[in-house]
Every structure is written in C-alpha cells, then in structure tokens.
Chain A
Amino acid sequence: MVVPLQVQNESLLKGLRFLVVDDFAAMRDMIFQMLKSLQVSEIDMVSDGKQAVSKMVLSHYDVVLCDYNLGHGKNGQQILEEARQRDLIRVSDIFVMITAESGADMVMGAIEHRPDDYISKPFNKELLKNRIERLILRKQNLAPIVREVTLGNIEKALEICDELIAANPKNILEVMRYKADMLMRERSYLQAIDAYEAINQRRPMPWARLGVAVGHFHTLHYEESYKILTALLSENPHYVECYDWLAQIEAKRDDYDRAIGLLQEAITISPFSVPRYRTLGEYQRKKGDLEGAEHSFTRVISLASESIHEDAGNNAKLAAVLIDKGESAKALKALSGLKKKYRMDPEGLLQISLSENRAHIARGSDQLAQQSIDEVDKLTHRITEPLSASTSLEVAKAYFSNGKDDEGVEKLKELVGNHHDDTDLLHNIEAVFDEHHLGEMGRELIATAKKEIVDLNNRGVTLAKQGKLNEAKTLFINALKSMPDNITINLNAAQIFVMALKDETNHNNYEDMEQLNRCINRVRILDPRNSKLAKLLTHLPKRK
C-alpha cells in the first residue's frame, strides 16, 4: 500500500481533472501516484495520441500532462495542435509537455502551438506541483480577459489588458503577449505591431519580433517584414517559422525559386509539418516543377493520415499534379477507393468527383467525363452546408471545361455574392472569366455585386433606424436567397431579427427566431471565431 506523502496545506491541484498521456506504463503509474499524493482524484491515463484525442473529445480536462515522444503515432506536439484546432482545450486549461529535451522540442512547433509549459524528465512531485500551481495562478489573472474575448467584447478585453499591464503583475509579459496575439487574431495589424513593439522595448524577444514581422506582412510592408525575418534567422537558423513567412514574401514577389528553397530549408529542420509541405507543393506546381510537387503532395497525404490535416483536398491536389504531368491514369488510380473513405464528407466527395472529371477529360473519355460532371452537379445541388470558396471555384471551372458555360457563370456569380470582400478570391474569379473571354462581363459583375451589397446593407441599416423592421427583414431575407453564405449579410440580418424579437409584441415570433438561428448557424460554420458573431450572441433575447 502506498502511504500518502505528507499532506501540507490544501493543494491548488485538488479537484482538477487530469489527463496523462505517456506510452511508458511505469511512467504513467508514477505520475498517477504523484498526482494522487497531491490530492488529485480525477485522473485519466492513455498511452497514445489517438486515445488522447478521443478522451478529450468525450470530456473536458483542466490539465493535460503529455509526453512529447510517444513512439508510434502522433507526438505530443501534434496532439496539442489537434486539440487546439478542434477547440478541445480552452484557454484556461493547462497543457504541459513532458520532454527529454525541452530546448530542441520547442523548435519544432509553431509559436501559437506552444504548450503552457515544458517539464523535463526526471521530475519529482514538488516540481510538478510548483509548476502547475504557478500556471493556475497565472491563468487566473488572464481569465477575465479571456471571458470578454469569448463574449466578443474585444474593446473591453483590451481595456482589462491595459489595466493589468499598468499594474505590472508577475506575468506581465504573458499579458502583453496575450494582448498582442489577440490584436493579431482580430486582424488589427497596426495595433498588433504596436503591442509587440511594446514588448520588444522591455526586452527584444524573438517571438515578439516575429509578431512585428507578421504584422508588417499583413499590412503589405514586405521590406520591413523581410528585414526582421532575416535578422531573426541570422541569430537563430532554427527558427523555422521565419522561413515560412520569408517564403510567403518571395511568393508575393513571384520569386517561387527562392520561396521553394526557403521552405526546403525549413523542412530539413522540422520535417513533419503538413501545411508547410502543402505550400511547398503549391509553389512547385506554380513554377512547373511537377516532379517536386508530386513528391510534396504525396508527403502531405502520408503525413496528414489520421490527423487533423487529413482532407480530400490533399488528394485532389496530388491528382491535379499528376494530370498536369500527363499521368491521368495514375491520377485515377490514386483517387480510387477515396469515395468510400470520404463517404461522410460531402465536400470531400465533390473534390474527388471534380478530380476524376478532370482526369477523364484529359484522357478524352467523353462518356466518363459526362458521368463525373453529372455527379459534380448532383453533389453541388445536394450539399446544404456552405462549400469552401476554393471548392466552389473548382466547380465553376469544371462547368466551363465541360462546356456548361451558363452554369459556370452562375456559379461564379454566386461566389462573388457570397465573398464580395475577399480580394484574393475575386482576383481568381476574374482570372476564370478572363480565361473564357468573359473578362469584361466578370469585372462588371464584381463591381455591381460589391456595390449592391454595400447599398443593401446601408438600406437595411437605415430602415432599421427608422423603425421599419419588417421592411428590413424582407430586404435581407431576399438577399440571403442569392447570397446565403455572405457573412456580412448574415450578421446584419441577424441583427435585425434580434431587434425585432426584442419588441414585446413580437418576442414569440417563431419565424423570426428560426431566421435568426439560421443566420447565426451559417456564420458559425463559415467563420467560427467571428468576433461580431460572439458579440451578437451576448445580446440574444431571452426566451420566455
């Protein structure tokens, strides 16, 4: 029987739920005993990444203690990335990476996927307790900020940040960092740059300098960004994220050779990043290095297997490269069997059918091409969830290449309506129009659509101000018929329904409630972290 170690004052760990991930049974047992002696009673233990993720899906843990090196399958870093991307851990939760060499392991992960702390083996109970208690205390003063962010009150959150920073707490750097990262997520790039510079004035930190560089990148100041990134790399050639951003700058300058070289360097340092290989493949394809692109996308597919990055889009990209190479038969072979794999994923199925269609056209198999475009058509009409813009664009292109120009134009129109403020996408849409000698029409269409949407929103707002809510409702309901995935319109419409439902005489109007729900759900799917949506949700009328 294990005699409990002397129990001092109440442990802060008491009452928290722990998940321990370690492939070494004896190690799991040891950590279990330590936690028990620290008065922790709820402890789950698993031995690999797959189990860890499914545990986190099923229940919430306050603290995850995860070994970095888990033998086969995902490593600790990949588990953390997946958990963050799938919102399985909240900001207030604690994720601690247990490593053999924290220094080198840190280099491997992207900054936004750093764990809260690294603990190096061997450690004892005291060390574990101290570290976790400190993290708990640190997160406590961040909690009010996090709450405001979740509610969408960014202004309020910034206010609290500034108050806290002025009070100079022990974790002032973390607060400053939280503020800067938040501004970056909100795309307030100029303010974000200021916030990172404030950190650098205290003491230049590599990640804060990277923050400044990223801010400059987004505000199109490539020169400044470039300077900072190269300086960072000359100080620490292992800072992999710098290569990624430099590569993006080179790609913006159309220098794909250099962009590719930079990504390849990053890959020799950190060889398991799916997004990095994907970008590399895309650049190689653009440059016409089809061999290289084939290799990269093959790598993407194998690395992404059973991870958050697994996606039929990866297979579609590989197929596209093979078709470009004139190996359509090989492309078809690579696609076979995927429909079964992605049978629960309508967009995935659509991407596969689109690829097949292209391969059949390339091989001159008219009948099979016809069959597959029919499939594309059927899937497009059957899918009710919003499609990603890139897949929609592929559908439009497919209509054109199968001689269905009218459907193609229709699809492009729809895309413009749904994404009137996405400049990069509009640029690509224009290119498709141009390619089919419809450039004039395309430009006009985009210009009118943009203007119409601005007018529509203005009209809606004016009507609402005048108290003509019913007219405003009709206006937006009609607009959503042709632009169901336009985020701005959905948000404005939702706003109108909220106003309408606030009226005493109307607050049991089920039709309005249903419309409101529809708008909210749409935005939730299109942009889950939309801060305007979060704000709107806090103003929802209470059901009586």
Chain B
Amino acid sequence: MTTDSSRDHFGAILSSSIHDTKSSIAIVLLSLERMIIDLRNQQVVQTPATTLAQLGTINYQAQRINDHLMQLLALYRIEKEGFKPQIQEIYMSEFLEDCTTMIAPLAEMRGITLTLEAPAGLYGYFDPHLVSMVAHSMLSGAIIYCQSHLRLSVHAEQNGMIAIRLEDDGKGFPAAILGKRQPSLEELEGVSFTGGNLGLAIYFARLVAELHLNQGLQGGIALANQSSLGGGIFTIYLP
C-alpha cells in the first residue's frame, strides 16, 4: 500500500541521496577542470592530445550523469508531488550566459564555436532552474552531433511568448520525430543519438514547457531541420 507518509519518505530519500551524488559529481568536475588546467600549464612535458580528449570525455559524461539525475528528480517532483514552476523574472542575456558556462570548456576543447544572441533589455518569466535543465541537456546533446558551430538565441515572439532556440550544423533531427510538434514519450522511445538518449530530453523539455502557463498561453517546444547553420533547430516557447 502506498501511503502518504511512505511516498514522502521516498521523496526525502531520493532528494537526499541525489544531493550527495551531486556533491560528488561537482567534485569530480571541479577536480577535472583543475587537472586539465594543470596539465596545460605544465612547461616540461607536453600532455598527449589523447589524454586531454579522454579527460574531456570524463567531464562530458559526468555532466550527463548530473543532467539525468536532475531530470529524474524533477520528473518525480512534478508527477508525484505536483510541483509547479517557480516563476521569476529573468534577464535573458544573463540566462543564456549561465546556461553555457558549464559546457563552454568542453566546447572549447572540441573546437566548437558557441554563439549567444539575446536582444538587450529582454526579460523572460519562467522557472530558471527547470528551463536551464532543459537548455543544458539539449546543449550537451547538440555538442556531440554538431560539426563545429552551435547558436543559442532568444527571441520575443509576437504573441508575447519568448522563444529560446538552439541551432546546430549537424545532420538534423531524424524524420521519426520531426513534424510532430509535441511528440509523446511513446513516440520518442528508442530515438537515440550518438552517446545518449535524446528522447527523454525532448520529453522533459516538452513537460517543462507545458507547465508554464500565463494568461491563457501555454508553453511548448518545436523541432525542425535546416537551421541557418544547416542542422537541427530546437525551440522552447515560454509564455
């Protein structure tokens, strides 16, 4: 039997163990970052490129573990505990900056150009924590399948919504999930990209977008191909 208290109990255990795990991940990532810098600054011995690449992979995978944990926990809170977005006023150019700071070292290492575009003075109203999780998981997917360029931009739509858009110069989204503006979890199942499950990320993005409501408008996501960079376009709309 599932009683209220056993549910709360599980939520508490989940949150506390994820908290500890995240501390560990944080330490792994920070240690790595320092290690890479130390290696680069070494004057005597040149670090082999493969070592740096391997360290990059460890960094990338650790961030993905973190992303997945965060998604799981957020999904749990939303579905089981009725958690609602905590709306804040967000200065968009700062938000984009924050979304990319964690991934920037990796992009640099892989020689990927990361362009940010936000009109000055533009504000958004959303849960920065949830939306940055979406942005981060989309970014960490895109960074693998793009060639050399990613563009993260934000636009004020005519209907008062805000659109955060991620464009890449990769092969684009597979036909199976294109065209459907809001793919369901079943449809996304099995959709997989090199190195990770894009399906869950898209499902999560849609869920987060749809939780955002304002005066009759609801958020959503859109997937398309043939971006100005030649690859896929992911957009999250927030009212």
Real complex partners, A and B?
yes
- A residues within 8 Å of B by Cβ? 2-3, 5, 24, 26-27, 30, 33-34, 69, 100-104, 106-107, 118, 120-127, 130-131, 134, 170, 173, 203-206, 235-238, 268
For A238, the chain B residues whose CB sits under 8 A away are: 81-84
Chain B residue at smallest Cβ distance from A239: B84
* Contact A103:B30 (CB < 8 A) given known A124-B101, A130-B97, A134-B94: no
Most-contacted residue by chain A among B18, B63, B66, B98 (CB, 10 A): B98
CB-contact partner of A27 in B26, B85, B213, B215, under 8 A: B26
**5 A-B pairs, CB-CB below 8 angstroms?**
A2-B34, A100-B73, A101-B129, A122-B22, A131-B98
For A122, the chain B residues whose CB sits under 8 A away are: 22, 25-26, 29-30, 63, 66, 102
Q: Does B1 contact A (CB under 8 A)?
A: no
How many whole Å from B77's CB to the nearest CB in chain A?
Answer: 6
For B66, the chain A residues whose CB sits under 8 A away are: 122
* Contact A101:B15 (CB < 8 A) given known A122-B22, A127-B98: yes
Task: Verify B27–A26 contact, CB threshold 8 A.
Answer: yes
For A125, the chain B residues whose CB sits under 8 A away are: 33
Q: A100-B15, A124-B30 given; name 7 further pairs at CB < 8 Å.
A: A30-B31, A100-B18, A103-B127, A122-B29, A122-B102, A127-B101, A130-B94
Task: Verify B130–A124 contact, CB threshold 8 A.
Answer: no
* Contact A69:B19 (CB < 8 A) given known A3-B38, A118-B129, A124-B101: yes
Distance in angstroms between the alpha carbons of A2 and B101 in the assembled complex = 22
For A69, the chain B residues whose CB sits under 8 A away are: 16, 19
Distance in angstroms between the alpha carbons of A204 and B15 in the assembled complex = 31
Task: Verify A121–B97 contact, CB threshold 8 A.
Answer: no
How many whole Å from A113's CB to the nearest CB in chain B?
Answer: 15
Q: Which of B6-45 contact A (CB under 8 A)?
A: 8, 15-16, 18-19, 22-23, 25-27, 29-31, 33-34, 37-38, 41
For B16, the chain A residues whose CB sits under 8 A away are: 69
Task: Verify B74–A101 contact, CB threshold 8 A.
Answer: yes
Give the top 8 A-B pairs by smallest Cβ distance, nearest first: A122-B26, A100-B19, A236-B84, A103-B129, A121-B26, A127-B101, A30-B30, A126-B101
Distance in angstroms between the alpha carbons of A369 and B208 in the assembled complex = 64
For B132, the chain A residues whose CB sits under 8 A away are: 120
Q: Does B70 contact A (CB under 8 A)?
A: yes
- B residues within 8 Å of A by Cβ? 4, 8, 15-16, 18-19, 22-23, 25-27, 29-31, 33-34, 37-38, 41, 63, 66, 70, 73-74, 77, 81-87, 89, 91, 94, 97-98, 101-102, 104-105, 125, 127, 129-130, 132, 213-215
Task: Verify B38–A101 contact, CB threshold 8 A.
Answer: no
Distance in angstroms between the alpha carbons of A235 and B18 in the assembled complex = 28
Distance in angstroms between the alpha carbons of A235 and B70 in the assembled complex = 24
How many whole Å from B32's CB to the nearest CB in chain A?
Answer: 10
* Contact A237:B27 (CB < 8 A) given known A103-B77, A130-B101, A203-B89: no
For B30, the chain A residues whose CB sits under 8 A away are: 30, 33-34, 122, 124
How many whole Å from A76's CB to the nearest CB in chain B?
Answer: 11
For B77, the chain A residues whose CB sits under 8 A away are: 101, 103-104
Task: Verify B22–A100 contact, CB threshold 8 A.
Answer: yes
CB-contact partner of B27 in A5, A27, A101, A206, under 8 A: A27
* Contact A101:B26 (CB < 8 A) given known A124-B102, A127-B101, A130-B101: no
Chain A residue at smallest Cβ distance from B103: A124
Task: Verify A101–B98 contact, CB threshold 8 A.
Answer: no
Most-contacted residue by chain B among A101, A134, A206, A236 (CB, 10 A): A101
Distance in angstroms between the alpha carbons of A304 and B83 in the assembled complex = 28
